[in-house]
Amino acid sequence: MARISNISRETKETSIQARLNLGGGEVRVDTGIGFLDHMLHAMAFYAGFGLDLTARGDLNVDGHHTVEDTGIVLGQAIREALGDKRGIRRFGSAYVPMDEALAFTSLDFSGRAFLVFDADMPQERLGDYDSCLTEEFMRALAFNGGITLHQRGVYGKNAHHITEALFKSLGLAMKDAVRVEGQEVTSTKGVL
């Protein structure tokens, strides 16, 4: 199975196009927010995904719409690429240390969207990126991808390190969860 998706989303606030290949490939990200590009590149790299994503948003206002809508599009792309989820492992989790910071992600491609996010950000800004937007991105990703997503910044003093550890642990957890291990749907109900 190909496990590839192409998603476009146009609103009055943003225009986003994404091509996702769960089997791998090049990673190219351009959102107009350098720190977000860095995080998405790291996430895709550690997930083993191929990702080509371009976003144009109302950055003259702030980064909120661009970050949230990018999460929406990426969640939709993951959901489409997984199809009926036949054979995937479904669950994944990972700890990632980043210098003084440690982050944890646990997720389930259950089709039941939920987010538990517990990560304090000691600094409010990371370049042109408001650190509070990490939770907005994760919420949009989870609810549009049908993912039960739990994330925790276990500890840390640098918001850059905490955020990067969250995105990298997300990538590693997704890599585990989308791995094909059989031919059946991994559910006692028989459907996800």
Q: What is the pLDDT of residues 134-165, one digit of tens each?
A: 999 999 999 999 999 999 999 999 999 999 99
**Confidence category of residue 1, pLDDT binned at 50, 70, 90:** low
Average pLDDT over residues 117-138: 97
Q: What is the pLDDT of residue 162?
A: 98
What's the mean per-residue pLDDT of the chain?
96
- Give the 3-state secondary structure percentages of the chain, helix then strand then coil, rounded to 5: 35, 30, 35
Q: What is the pLDDT of residue 18?
A: 98
Contact 77, 5 (CB under 8 A): yes
Tell me the percentage of the chain whose pLDDT exceeds 90.
93
Q: What is the pLDDT of residue 101?
A: 98
Q: What is the pLDDT of residue 187?
A: 65
What is the Cα–Cα distance from 126 to 159, expressed in whole angstroms? 8
- pTM (two decimals): 0.95
116, 159, 165, 166 from 153: Cα distances, Å:
11, 10, 8, 7
Q: Is the pLDDT of residue 104 over 90?
A: yes
Written as one string, the DSSP assignment of 95-160 is EEEETTEEEEEEEE-SS--EEEEE---SSSEETTEETTHHHHHHHHHHHHHT-EEEEEEEE-S-HH
User: Can you read off the two tokens belonging to residue 152?
Assistant: 């925790």
Residue 116 forms beta bridges with which residues?
Answer: 150
Q: Is the pLDDT of residue 177 over 70?
A: yes
Average pLDDT over residues 123-142: 97
What is the Cα–Cα distance from 144 to 138, expressed in whole angstroms? 10
Which residue did the predictor score with more confidence, 187 or 67?
Answer: 67
Average pLDDT over residues 96-109: 98
Q: CB-side exposure of 14: number of CA atoms within 13 Å?
A: 25
Average pLDDT over residues 67-81: 98
